[in-house]
Amino acid sequence: MEEVEDWIRANNITDKNEINNLYVNASLPPKYNAKGELNPRDYDTFAAIQVTVDDKALKGGKPQFKDEVTEADSQERELFEETMLKNGIKDYNLSDGWGFFGGKDHLYKGTVFIPIRDSVVGSLVNSGQAPKINLPSDANSIN
């Protein structure tokens, strides 16, 4: 989707039918519906979550989209280590490396966008998963 959007911007494409064709050719659902509005089923709402991960969590130890993430500063590195320790991950340590010889563990931060459906029913239908809801029978049993 990012590649298609980059192409659209670079070529100043504004025709919604042409944009839909580009999306479909990239094996994506059309961006606009028949009314010319953003296709709410596939592109309407997203949740944005700020995340921080060390390079061990990434395939190959490097971010796939380097322009989408930044490297954490020293204060963020300290907070990350503290959080890991508080959550029971004992002896967690980010290496600061060995001067000119490298070896520094990298810590990256960025935003993850997650599609959100407008309703619980819509989310369940689109997820393909059965609902797993274990609610108490009365409000007094909630702690």
Comparing CA positions, the residue from 131, 55, 126, 123 lying closest to residue 95 is 55
Confidence band of 100 (pLDDT split at 50, 70, 90)? low
Q: What count of residues does the chain have?
A: 143
Q: Are the beta carbons of 109 and 70 closer than 8 angstroms?
A: yes
3-state secondary structure of 95: coil
Q: What residue spans define the domains of the chain?
A: 1-43, 47-111
> What's the whole-number mean pLDDT along residues 108-131?
66
Q: pLDDT (tens digit, 9 = 90+) per residue, 2-42?
A: 899 999 999 999 999 999 999 999 999 999 999 998 887 77
Return the SS3 of 84.
Answer: helix
pTM over 0.85? The answer is no
The dihedrals phi and psi of 45, each to the nearest 5 degrees, come to: -130, 140
How much is the mean pLDDT over the chain?
77
- Stated as kind and residue range, the H or E segment containing 123 is helix 120-127
